[in-house]
Every structure is written in C-alpha cells, then in structure tokens.
Amino acid sequence: MTIDATMTGLARPQPRRVVVAELVDRSRKRLDTLSDARLTATFEDLLYMERKRLERAPPEPELEGHLDDLAKALVRGGRSDRMDAALGVIGLWGDEIHGRFNPRVYRGATRVLPRALSGLLSGRPGRLRDWSLSSQSRLRVKGNLPLLAQLAKESTLVLAPTHVSNLDSPLIGLALYLAGLPPFVYGAGLNLFSNPMVGWWLGRLGAYTVDRTKKARLYKDVLKDYSVRCLTTRHHSLFFPGGTRSRSHEVEPRIKKGLLGTAAVAWQEMLAAKRPDSEVYIVPLTLSFTLTLEAATLIEDHLADAGKQRYIITDDEFAQPRRLASFFRRVMDLDSAMVAHFGDPIDCLGFPVSADPAERAEQAIHRRRYVTDAQGEVEWDAQRDRIYTDRLGGALIDAWPRYAEVLPTHLAAWAAWRCLEAQVGSTDPFRLVRTPADGRHLDRGDYLACLRTELQRVKDGGKAGRWGEQLPNTAEEVLEVALDRFARYHRSRALTTADSRVFVQDPKLCLYYRNRLTFMDRENA
C-alpha cells in the first residue's frame, strides 16, 4: 500500500501479511515496555471488552479462540503466553483495519466517479436566479489549492474536516479530485462496509475500517499504530477530529485528539530516521451543506439525551436507499448546494505554515528544536506531545469557522430562532422545540428586520475574513431561497410562510440549521 514519494504515481500495495506483521511488531514493542501489573491490566481490559462486545455481535470463532487462550494465560500462564494470545487478537484487528487500496481501481474511479458525482451535483438551473455559481458543479471547492498541491509533493498531509453527514467521505473524495490533490486514506466506520458494494469501493479508494463497537484500550492503540504507519509511508491521511457526525450541526467546538496525535508521532519517527521528507502538515477543511440528508435523525439524537448520545447511528437516512435516492434527486441539482473550503495548513505544533518555500524550510529547522536535543536527536516525551496535540486541536477549532460558508438555510433558520426566542421569552432549546404550533407564528415584518440585521452582520464578517458566505444581497432573497431549499427534501419543513407570517413548522429542524452559525456568537463571547 505504497504511493511514491512525489505522489505522481500509484505503486502496488504491500502484501497484507507485511502490513499486519508491522502492526503486531509495533504492539509488541510497546507492550514490552509495560510492567507485569500494567500488562495484566491491559490484557484484562481487552478480554472483558471483547467478550462484552461479542455478546451482541455475530460469532467470531477465531477471535473467541484467542480470547480463550488469553483467559487461560491470565490465570496460569506466563508473560510470554499472555503476550502471544493478545498479539493473536491484534493480528485479527490489524487484518480487519487494513484498507484494500487498489491503484488500478483508483485510476478507473477518478475517470468515472467524478463525472458521475458531478452529474448528480449538476443539473437544471432552478426557477430562482442563479446568484452564486456560474459553474455547473454543485460542489464548490475553495482554498489555496496550488500551495496544497506543492505541499503534497514535498511532505505528508493530514486533512482534518468538520463532519456533517455520511456523505462527507465521497464528497471529500470528489473535492480532492477537483482540487488536483492526490488520494487520501481515511478511517470509515465498519458499519458502512456492511453493504458489499459500498464496502468494496470504500476499501479500494483508500478507506480503512474503524469498529467503534470495540472499546478495548489496546484496539485504540492499534488504530493509532496504523495511522502512524500510513503517515510514515507517505500516505496522506484524513481524520475527522470530531470523531463522529455533529449531531447538533454546530461547527465542532470540541475534538477527539486520539488519531490527531499520530501526526506528531509520525513526524518524529521520520525525523529520527533522518528522512528529508519528514514534515507532516495538517489542513483544516470545513464542509458547508445547504441541506443535510440525516438532519432529522441527528437533531433527534442530540435532543433525546444530550449527555448520552448514541455514538453510532445505524438506522438513519443514509441506511435507507430510497431516502438516499430521494435526497440526490431533489437536492443535488441545487446551485452551491455544498462548499468544501480547504484552509491554510498548520504544523503538528499548531503553528501556521508559510507559503514561501524558503520561509517554510526555516520553519522546519526551527520546529525540530521542539522535539530534539542539542545534537538533533529526537527526544521522546509523551506528555510533551499531548500538550502539542492540545495546541493543534485548539488551532483547528479556531480555524474551522474561518472557512465555514454561511448559506441561506443556515441564516434563515438563525433569524427565525432569534425571533422565536424573543417571542417565547426563553433561550432554552428544549423549551423552544416544545412550543405549541400557535406560538411559532412570527410576524413577517419583524422576522425580515431581524434577518436583515443578521445578513449585514454576516456580510461584514465575510469581508473581514472571519467566515465565508454564499448569500443573496437582500433579506427577502435569503428567505425566498431558504424556503425553496427547505421544501426540497425534508418531510416537514423548518420554515414556511402564510399571509403576513413566517411559521416555524418543524422547530427541531430549524434548530439544527440554526446551530451551524453558533460560531458567530462564540466569537463574540
């Protein structure tokens, strides 16, 4: 699974047994450093978590055999017996995780899929005036793309997107193609591979599997090992730092730093190996959608129990072929339906990366001093690296809103929610979504006045570079476009109009689309 150093060609993948053996060896070296007490605790956690998972999973005879061996070794075996049994489990995990990237399939896909997806994202001009795009593509790609293409040749990139929908992965793949960037490997939930056709394509286009039902700490370590291996073999990688789709639709205010921390580890491993191509850069990517396929399910899950959300939703709209087809048919022909904005790159320490090659080379020399001694040898320090990863995570959280695009559905819902808060006299979202229908009628004049104020605020922020926007110039046009969009897909609408009033028909959907702009208030906090 090796791509050549310049990323201009696609070499043949390494045999699976070689990759799995490397993962097992990485685990062995790490486990060898643990005391007997910590090693036993690690293996007991593995045994407990996997047996608990298997109570709800289909039978896995080979895994169950290794677990039985581990249980016996924990009772009356020695350290080597326990290690061998655990490494057997790790080998099975590694074989499951490892992607099946196929350069020939990728080349074919880049000839066929972009045209197919572009066809889905193109189409008839709507009955409304085309105020945003002259291109036929309904996926707009923004950012300093020439710089990213250059960095892809001289270093390894980690793409760190916001996570809105299960459609993100294929659309990011199309965005990378349209941006002229090489393929990226990425983790995809094991549940997405349950469809044989989808799973076949995902694996051969760069996806590796992540089973979120596996809770053992050691499994997470193996995932991190796989990520480090991908990066050190010059595979550009994609992580969703939010970990899962944003249930509330907010631009992620918090992230999970597990896989993100592997960027610093891979960078230091390549520094230690004296490699000239050791730099690893992180590229923020903000995805902005006019409508979201799974909006109704996601906001229900967010509101159902904010403290105990399901981490995996297996029964949402993405899993229903008819709903998926309906979404594509009704939504994907919209102008500027989606925007993928690639942000400016940052390094593993959270610092901006210069676009000037000479300055970038000086930055690389200076950056190495953070992790090396006076002789230039890498000094390994896990606690220090966690601090660096925290800083990197903070830089991403700060960056994502700058590349967010305010779209008509977001702004119309934002203004409607402000009016509803004033009318009900509360800012409690749980109270507002339960407001009776007769309390959700808004005076059209008052609503447009609020929308006009918020539109100006968004336009001013866009000019100042605080965020992006794809909006008409008047509040009346924003409302008209938003109403058209809301009527396209969802069974109930976030907003409708009647006579001189604007009606919040589905307050949960209104809250979902409104939440996309909460970063504007966070900025002023």
Residue 318 to residues 246, 426, 494: CA-CA distances in angstroms? Answer: 15, 34, 20
Q: Give the contacts of 290 (CB within 8 A, at least 6 positions apart).
A: 331, 334, 336, 337, 338, 407, 408, 409, 485
- Sheet-wide strand order for 501-503: 441-443, 501-503, 496-498
Q: What pLDDT does residue 481 have?
A: 94
Q: What pLDDT does residue 129 have?
A: 38
CA-based R_g, the chain, Å: 25
Q: Which amino acid, one-letter code, is at 174? A: L
User: Does 334 score more than 80 pLDDT?
Assistant: no
Give the three-state DSSP class for 288. strand
Distance CA 503, CA 495 (A): 6
- Mean pLDDT of the chain, nearest integer: 85
User: Does 412 score more than 50 pLDDT?
Assistant: yes
pLDDT band, residue 163 (cuts 50/70/90)? very high
Q: What pLDDT does residue 293 have?
A: 84
User: Does 27 score more than 70 pLDDT?
Assistant: yes
Q: What is the mean pLDDT of residues 113-121?
A: 51
- Token pair 């074919």 is found at 108
Distance CA 139, CA 334 (A): 9
Distance CA 318, CA 455 (A): 32
CB neighbourhood size of 213 (10 A): 16
User: Does 326 score more than 80 pLDDT?
Assistant: no
Q: What pLDDT does residue 109 have?
A: 60
Q: Which amino acid, one-letter code, is at 29? A: K
Q: What is the mean pLDDT of residues 68-90?
A: 96
Q: What pLDDT does residue 207 have?
A: 76
Distance CA 400, CA 160 (A): 9
pLDDT (tens digit per residue) in 263-280:
999 999 999 999 999 999
Distance CA 485, CA 490 (A): 9
User: Does 364 score more than 50 pLDDT?
Assistant: yes
pLDDT (tens digit per residue) in 466-519:
999 999 999 999 999 999 999 888 889 999 998 889 999 999 999 999 999 999
pLDDT (tens digit per residue) in 210-237:
888 999 999 999 999 999 999 999 999 9
Taking the model in full, what pTM does it have?
0.85
Distance CA 35, CA 49 (A): 21
Asked whether the beta carbons of 339 and 140 are under 8 A apart, the reply is yes
Distance CA 382, CA 229 (A): 18
Of 110-119, 142-151, 290-299, 479-488, the poorest mean pLDDT is in 110-119
